[in-house]
Structure formats: C-alpha cells, structure tokens
Amino acid sequence: MTFDSGNTEEQGLVVHKIDGSKRIFRPSKKGLYYSDKANDVRAIMVNTVDSNKSKYSVRQYSSAKKAHALQNVIGRPITQDFIKYIEGNIIPNCNVTRDNILRAEDIFGPNLGSVKGKTTRKPAEHVNLRRKKVPEDILANYGDITLAIDITAINKIPFVITVSRHIHFGTAKLICNKSKKTIMTSIQQVVRAYHAKGFKVRNILGDGGF
C-alpha cells in the first residue's frame, strides 16, 4: 500500500493487488478515505432480499414469508428446532413445511432473534503480561541510541515522529501544537521510554526547525 499526496489520478491511499491492478481510496470532505464502487464491474455485490426471492415463484415466496413470520411468533427458535417442531406436529393446524422454512432462511437469512442471546462468547486466551528484558548483546552493541526526529501531519493533526538508528524502533507522539515546550515534552517522553529498557539516547538529529 502506498500513499500519493500529489495532484494526480492516484491521489490518496493506493492498494496494489497481486494481479497488478490498483484500488484507490480517496479522502472525503470529512477526512475519511473511501473507494468508489459505482462504476466498478469487479466489485463484489451483496445479496439482497429482492435478488434472493427472484429465485422462487410468487407462491413459494409467500409461503416463505409465512414461515418467517411464524418463526418470530413462536419465539424465534433456530432453524433446526423450528423444523423439528413442524415435523413433530408440535404446532397444531400448521401448514408450514420444511421447504418453506429453508426457503425463508435462504431469502431472509438467519433469523437474528434466534441468534441473539444464544451465541456464546469464546473465552480469550490468557495474555501474558510478563515483560522480557532486552538481551544483553543488543544493549552491548546498540545501547547508545541516535534518534532521527521530525514533525509530520496527518489530516492536519501534528505528530512528533522518531526513528532510532540500528534497531529502527519508531515512535509517534500526538502534539496539540508545535511550541518549544510541547515538542520538548514529547522528546523527553520518548527518551524515558528508551531509558526504561536500558538504552541511552546520546544524539538527536533534526532539521533546522528544531
């Protein structure tokens, strides 16, 4: 992915795909980047109810609607349980069939009411918070740090950017303004972060603005 800030046809975020084609995301007036798919024949279309119901006859669609409505009335059971109720004659005087239920799910999708409250969240894996020390050979060879520093803006929001030589560790610090005090505070925060891991910041390189 590349970014083109010039006044070119590819201005914005450019995603280079494996097949050689490109997908361009241009900034809107509010700063959000978007890709216009209005005239893109390669865009993936989303199935809608209208396109799904076109596969069935008017009578089949009407029966599917009745099955969908009945599923809502009896408490929105999942499709498998709904079919069991129908085939087991648990619902008296019901003219809904298994095929009606399956067509309803194909046209309208899974009943959201049957999913809510029944989908369990899988427990996340335990996160190990133990911090490892920087290897001694790294500190011995690259313990003295030289920082390259600059200020960049993203959507007119300024950041102090630093990159260290050799280990190539980068930081980005949001700043509210470009005053000397604000910039010095952000630099001191970066220096303390390096010192906390055993590194020593010896030099800071910047352009004339610093």
3-state SS, one letter per residue, for 40-105: CCCCCCCCCHHHHHCCCCHHHHHHHHHHHHHHHHCCCCCHHHHHHHHHCCCCCCCCCCHHHHHHHH
* 209 in Cβ contact with 152 (< 8 Å): no
pLDDT in tens, 147-167: 999 999 988 899 999 999 988
pLDDT in tens, 82-113: 899 988 888 888 889 999 999 988 888 877 77
* 74 in Cβ contact with 91 (< 8 Å): yes
Burial class (CB in 10 A: 0-12, 13-18, 19+), 30: exposed
Question: What are the structural domain ranges in the chain?
Answer: 2-34, 49-115, 136-205
The CATH class, in words, for 136-205 is alpha beta
pLDDT in tens, 132-152: 788 888 889 999 999 999 999
pTM of the model: 0.41
State which of 25-39, 48-62, 132-146, 191-205 shows the largest mean pLDDT: 191-205
